[in-house]
Structure 1
Amino acid sequence: MDVYVDEYITFLKIEKGLSTASLNSYRQDLKHYSTYLADNEIRSIDKVDTEVLIQFIKFLTEKSLSPKTISRTQSTLRNFHQFLLNQNIIDMNPAIKLTAVRGEKKLPEYLTIEEMEILLGTPDNSLAGIRDSTLMEVLYASGIRVSELISIKKADVNTEMGFIRVSGKGSKERIVPITDFVAKKLNHYIIEVRPQLLKSDDNEDLFITNRGRGFTRQGLWKTIKKYELLSGIRKNITPHTFRHSFATHLIENGADLRAVQEMLGHSDISTTQIYTQISTTKIREMYKQFHPRK
């Protein structure tokens, strides 16, 4: 068994070019598998059938491993046995019939409307503060991704018509609406603040750092974390929290799911439906809290 594992890891390293971390994960999964087979006196890999694999997965489940870990192990087993089949070491892949383990989807972290009001009111009236306030208002008003925000150019904004042109995943372009309030803030930032932050006329990025450059993902993350601390809100707030809050608040207030899907740039509506689950969970919690017959 160990020989086959070594051959497989070498294959992944040379043919697939996997990272050391990925190779170590595969090796660890297969080490547990090899130990299980030895403990159950299965000496030959061609004696492994689907039932053996099912019992191994059951064994892992009883050890209270997470669904994510078990799912990864199943994938490892499927690929490992496929390798052995391709090498004519076994006659069939017994892992092909394993049922995927579905773990519970963790609901996205979001802010309440009250918390968002506090956070958005945290920046001061300095140039950087006005920029940061506008930046966060745009995130909340549009629900765009971090990568989309930092790639927005000045020419992508139309404050008069009230929209921003965004380039999303797969270079798919979409038009995202913004409120009149945010359009006015953007207009003020573009005319009064942005020119004072610029160091070069060649920079077309909408949001400019204190050094006169466009924001990076890390730079934006640090900016949001700064206001998380200043706001006193005891939640893990990231740039993506604005996206989750945007979608949750819209759906809580009766927005059409398809419209929210379009604004978020989701290709599949099932991705958007997670926000209806958040809304339902909140309603259930309020019901339990306030119904007189608890």
Structure 2
Amino acid sequence: MENHAIDSFLTYISAAKNQSPNTLKAYANDLGQFIEYLEQNKISKTKTLNDITHLDIRGFLAYLKESGASKKTIARKLSAIRSFFRYLSTEGLVSEDPTKMVQGMKLPKKLPLFLYPAEIEALLSAPGQDVLGIRDRAIMELLYATGMRVSELVSLKLKDVNLGANFIIVFGKGSKERVVFFGSKAAESLEEYLRKSRPYLVKNLTCDYLFLNKNGTRLTDRSVRRIIDKYVKLLSLNAKISPHTLRHTFATHMLNNGADLKTVQELLGHVSLSTTQIYTHVTKERLKEVYDKAFPHS
């Protein structure tokens, strides 16, 4: 099996599709597992990429299912294999795309977890007034106020933030630039962080990342997850709450308070409106819940 074909594919999607490092890593892992499966089943010893059929791919999917992989995981791996063979077919490296004969998996639409106003207020009020507490509050206020992804937040630099006009330049998936806005509460928390916290965290004056850890270096996605976990446990909230929950909460609250779907799509940086439409299901669920509680004959 020619592993250099995978390397070429990863180079292509990195350059042409502007995929993030996390996406590239996921593709590499998924395709690597597929190749490993073929090798373990002695398929790759006798076949070239051009010889792989839809039956080989179905066999891999069956193997994943037997191994206990979730439908979501199997669907993601199939998507990676589809993209790979689509690339090979376009480049003329295979005569046919075997994934065309493989039916996709239908995943149940899972409503995103979000926080109610009282819960988000409790979460934002949880950090103390020490250096790290001030930083943590600013992080959570910005995640909620802007709906940005945690990967976007940790990539922010000082120059990206306009405190005077309450907006931030965000570089999202595929390095796509967009503007997000924040309100007075987030502005106050951010200003306090820049005045009372960041000066005590910074160790190297050339470091221009907005949010820093106690060592004076850039925060990671995982470290923000740990920060959120800390306050979730403190308040005994749903253990599944993550930084992404604040993004879901932003979108849900925007729609609940009259924002149109297109505006929310642009603020979230969604390419497709269908991705944003999941939040309309959340708001409908919320309306039904209020109706059931309030209407005497419900």
Q: Is 1:74–1:95's contact at 8 Å kept on the other side of the alignment?
A: no
2:6 counterpart of 1:16:
yes
Tell me, in whole angstroms, the C-alpha distance in 1 between the residues paired with 2:151 and 2:259. Answer: 25
Q: 2:243 aligns with which of 239, 245, 248?
A: 239
Quick one: which of 194, 209, 217 aligns to 1:190? 194
Q: 1:194 to 1:280 in 2, by over 3 A?
A: same
Structure 2 vs 1, CA of residues 23 and 230 (structure 1 numbering), >3 Å: closer, same or farther?
Answer: same
1:172 equivalent to 2:176? Answer yes
Alignment match of 1:157 (pick from 154, 161, 167): 161
- 1:284 and 2:288 are equivalent in the alignment: yes
Distance 2:202 2:136 in 1: 15
Whichever of the two has the greater Rg, that structure is 1
Residue 112 (structure 1) aligned with residue 112 (structure 2): no
TM-score, scaled to structure 1: 0.72
Aligned counterparts of 1:169 and 1:292: Cα–Cα separation in 2: 47
CA contact (8 A) 2:31 2:77 kept: no
Task: Give the Cα–Cα distance (whole angstroms) in 1 for the partners of residues 99 and 175 of structure 2.
Answer: 37
What runs of 5+ residues in structure 1 fail to find an aligned partner?
A: 1-9, 33-47
Using the alignment, how far apart are the partners of 1:71 and 1:23 within structure 2? 13
The size of the alignment, in residue pairs, is: 260
User: 1:126 and 2:151 equivalent?
Assistant: no
**More deviation in 16-25 or 265-274?**
16-25
Identity score, percent:
36
Aligned to 1:275, which of 276, 279, 286? 279
Q: Please say if residues 262 and 273 of structure 2, whose CA atoms lie closer than 8 Å, have aligned partners that are also in contact.
A: yes
RMSD of aligned Cα (Å): 3.9
State the alpha-carbon separation in 2 of the partners of residues 199 and 73 from structure 1: 45
- 2:145 counterpart residue number: 141
TM-score, structure 2 as length reference: 0.71
**In the TM superposition, what is the alpha-carbon distance from 1:211 to its structure 2 partner?**
1.1
CA distance 1:252–1:22, change in 2 (3 Å): same
Matched, 1:209 2:199: no
**Which residue identity does 2:178 align to in structure 1?**
R
Equivalent AA in structure 1 for residue 287 of structure 2 = I
- Asked if the contact 2:131–2:196 (Cα under 8 Å) also holds between the matched residues in 1, the reply is no
Whole-Å Cα distance in 2 between the matches of residues 154 and 95 of structure 1? 45
Question: How far has the Cα of 1:166 moved from its partner?
Answer: 1.2
Q: Distance in 2 between matches of 1:20 and 1:208?
A: 30
**Which residue is equivalent to 2:16?**
none
